[in-house]
A = this chain, B = another copy of it.
Amino acid sequence: MKNNNFRTFQGYMKQEEHLLSASMEDYLEMIYRLSKDTGFTRINELSEALNVHPPSATRMVQKLGLMNLLQYERYGVIILRAEGKKLGELLLLRHNIIEAFFRLIGAKAETLLAETEKVEHTLSDETVKCFEQFIAFIEENPDVLIRFKNFKVE
């Protein structure tokens, strides 16, 4: 076995010149959700939504602030900057594509959210695009889905 291409999970996650870690992506996506209507969110709301304790949210928000993805001052409100907004929107879009795709192929509803939240950090743009194309394909060819469902019953 001279195949030099394997890595551990962490090895892969580091290797890429990922601008954002998985956690950063989670925070950014959630900030985008929460501030979509009102234009802002707060540490408390954010930490509750993500089921982390406030100090964890504070630290991450400070970090995202240093990266110029959002605007934040101590004890203040969290407002996405243009770049952060753009990323957040993409992240949410990606999330929705993956979720829709999993639903299509029959993933259990109970685990759908957790599944999507985990997977979304690990898929390449190309593969997400494949998911997207498959969704569009099924929309135009609903008979395929029916055949698949029948196949599964057997």
A-side residues, CB < 8 A to B, are 1, 3-13, 15, 22-23, 25-27, 30, 33-34, 45, 48-52, 102, 105-108, 111, 113-115, 117-119, 121-124, 126-127, 130-131, 133-134, 136-137, 140-141, 144, 147-148, 151-152
Chain B residues, CB < 8 A from A133: 106, 148, 151-152
Known: A1-B49, A118-B13, A148-B134. A8 touches B33 (CB 8 A): no
Q: Are B144 and A147 within 8 A (Cβ)?
A: yes
Q: Are B122 and A105 within 8 A (Cβ)?
A: no
Q: In the bound complex, how far is the Cα of B3 from the Cα of A134, in angstroms?
A: 29
> CB-nearest residue of chain B relative to A30?
B6
Known: A33-B1, A108-B126. A6 touches B117 (CB 8 A): yes
A115 contact from B8, B25, B123, Cβ within 8 A: B123
Q: In the bound complex, how far is the Cα of B1 from the Cα of A34, in angstroms?
A: 7
Q: Are A8 and B34 within 8 A (Cβ)?
A: no
Q: Are B107 and A127 within 8 A (Cβ)?
A: yes
Q: Are B127 and A115 within 8 A (Cβ)?
A: yes
Min CB gap A108→B, angstroms = 5
Report 11 cross-chain contacts, Cβ distance below 8 Å, ordered by A residue: A3-B49, A6-B26, A7-B51, A8-B22, A8-B26, A107-B124, A114-B124, A115-B122, A119-B119, A134-B148, A137-B151
> CB-nearest residue of chain B relative to A138?
B148
